[in-house]
Amino acid sequence: MTQDEAKRTAARRALEFVEDGMALGLGSGTTSAMFIQELGERVKGGLKVHGIATSAASQKLAESLSIPMTTFEETPALDLAIDGADEVGPGLALIKGGGGALLREKIVESAAKKFIVIADGSKLVKQLGKFPLPVEVVKMALPLVTHRLEALGLNPKLRHHKDGSVYLTDENNFILDCSAGVIADPAKTAADIRSIVGVVEHGLFLNMASFALIASDQGVVEVGR
């Protein structure tokens, strides 16, 4: 099974948890895009759902597939959120934000009664930290936050596009990608980062996921806390 096939398998398995009438949080990234595509086929077949997207790209994809979209003003609570992850560690501690949508992802997933992670087996790790930890930062505070993150030993690096231009989030903020190595204590690292004035959000998602659907050649395994 290729990585893309594994992602598609996890996405299809997640559809089993979607029920008629649900309000859904729609994640971002390649695996989530596959879920949205599969959901679009179900909607075309008569499934009645409505969703809130975690990024402009996911919103555009969902709308192109005629998936009804809503807002938190209309729908303040979600039944289910489904999203990918860059790393899935012990206790379902996650690193997310490789695609730059960490703030909206955390908002949407915090509003859901249940949050299911979908991923291929390569995302399952024994300790978080090999994947760079994203930190979203207000533009004005970039030098200050960079200095504070350096002092924490997190080795921040400003994110750029492949063409060399500076990456901006949907909220027009910068992202610092932190090469932290092994994150031995995710809760402490999360608290240290959040204490820095000018940080909007970080990519550590702790105690948020209900369970993860991890796909590999052996099929889909449900991983709990």
Catalytic residues: 105
**C-alpha distance across the termini of the chain, in Å:** 26
Spatial separation of the C-alpha atoms in residues 159 and 176, rounded to whole Å: 6
Helix, strand, coil % (nearest 5) of the chain? 35, 25, 40
